[in-house]
Amino acid sequence: MSKNAPKKTTKKEIILDKASVMFREKGFSATSMRDLAESVGIEAASLYNHIQSKSQILQEIVFRAADDCNQHLEKLTTENASCTTKIESIIRFHVQMMMNRFEDYHVMTHEWIHLSEPHLSSFISQRRNYVQQLEAIVEECIQKKEFKTIIPYVAVLTILSAVRGLEFWHRSQKKITPAELEENMVTHLISGLKK
Amino acid sequence: MSKNAPKKTTKKEIILDKASVMFREKGFSATSMRDLAESVGIEAASLYNHIQSKSQILQEIVFRAADDCNQHLEKLTTENASCTTKIESIIRFHVQMMMNRFEDYHVMTHEWIHLSEPHLSSFISQRRNYVQQLEAIVEECIQKKEFKTIIPYVAVLTILSAVRGLEFWHRSQKKITPAELEENMVTHLISGLKK
DNA sequence: CCTACCGATCGGTAGG
DNA sequence: CCTACCGATCGGTAGG
């Protein structure tokens, strides 16, 4: 504290990260502010100097993960790649999110239901929008005869859900490397779609 | 009540069914016994004439779904079918569970973490056992050259997770029929595995 | 960042 | 199946 150099990890970030771990382990509702405070190393009341409410913590965790997904997709749509390559990129991105941002990704996919309004509606509409954009890419693959005829919505759900399932891998012994995992996922999911 | 004919739906079953709906909607921790009692139409204290604890309700819901999965697998292993046919049957069974037993299936896959010991350990070990049996079938498919070379564990996780993702379909407009859904899932997942 | 504390709600019990 | 109630814990605030 002797210098005014900007600290990269603020106390608020520490709280969010600890909360992300606990929300994944026990769920949002089963995690108390006292549990969280203990994990951070302060009293429960002191948390409120850095955050406004338990609900706000969930919002920040969910949307910082959702924003990353949206940014990746936005960048991808400007790229000059084939639609099949785009789908593959999306699979790889989500597998990597699951690896590198495990806690946040899990909280986003499992605890979003506990968001309060208007954030709940906002999240649902963002997610629907995201899924629809993926559907459009799958649709393009079908029309270009790169994919077999399949319902795009079902294909997108299958891909996104399959990635979510990697949480079990994450908890297990990890005899499989992330790279192996990524290749296996792409193989199974993409070749199931190709003609 | 004038006859002693065995009633098929006991009050306890009604409580379990209502609890299953609420646990799916709001999660186990966020559902209070007062919420549940209101949905059943009695006072909270009266619930305890039919069940012993909130925890016991979760146990019964989770294990009545898990038992169905185990029974299907047990029956399947005695049948004289090819390993590829067995994998297809497992996919169809899980898709149908998601359709017909939506609430229980969802509670089993999402709320098992809130089981108390020794039920939590029991569930985890049952699930590991289930997954390992599926892995063995996939392994057989690979050795018989019916499937391409893939890590069985990843394939099994992908299949089971993909089915879980149908919850979003279940909540949506349902412009897709259950039969279409089942065929699309089988197509995507099985042909992604076949040589 | 802490101590002290608030009203609300929790799962569950006693007794009828 | 109800009324009445228990101790514990919840998210959050006041004041320093």
Residues of chain B below pLDDT 70: 1-8, 173
Please check whether residue A158 lies inside any domain of the structure. yes
Mean pLDDT across A96-119: 95
Buried b (16+ CB within 10 A) or exposed e, A1-32: eeeeeeeeeeeeeebbbbbbbbbbeebbbbbe
Please check whether residue B104 lies inside any domain of the structure. yes
Q: Rounded CA gap, A44 and A28, in Å? A: 16
Residues of B in contact with A28 (CB under 8 A): 27
Please check whether residue B113 lies inside any domain of the structure. yes
pLDDT at res. A8: 67
Helices (H), chain A: 11-26, 33-40, 54-78, 83-100, 102-111, 119-143, 152-164, 166-171, 178-191
For B157, the closest of A30, A157, A165 (CB atoms) is A165
Question: Residue written as tokens 């790279």?
Answer: A179
Percent of chain B with pLDDT over 70: 95
**pLDDT tens, residue by residue, B87-136:** 999 999 999 999 999 999 999 999 999 999 999 999 999 999 999 999 99
Please check whether residue A141 lies inside any domain of the structure. yes
Partner-chain contact A154 B168, CB within 8 Å = no
Q: Rounded CA gap, A55 and A113, in Å? A: 12
Please check whether residue B24 lies inside any domain of the structure. no
Mean pLDDT across A15-42: 96
Nearest nucleotide to B33 (CA to C1') is: C11
Q: Is the Cβ–Cβ distance between A99 and A178 less than 8 Å?
A: yes
Tokens of B188: 């995507």
Backbone angles phi, psi at A114, to 5 degrees: -90, 5
Domain count across chain A:
1
**pLDDT tens, residue by residue, A149-176:** 888 998 999 999 999 988 888 777 678 8
CA of A45 vs C1' of C10, distance in Å? 21
Please check whether residue B4 lies inside any domain of the structure. no
Domain containing B80 — which CATH number?
1.10.357.10
For A165, the closest of B148, B160, B184 (CB atoms) is B160
Q: Rounded CA gap, A99 and A160, in Å? A: 14
Q: Rounded CA gap, B21 and B52, in Å? A: 19
Residues of A in contact with B165 (CB under 8 A): 157-158, 160-162, 164
Please check whether residue B161 lies inside any domain of the structure. yes
Please check whether residue A30 lies inside any domain of the structure. no
| Residue-number span of the structural domain to which A81 is assigned | 54-193
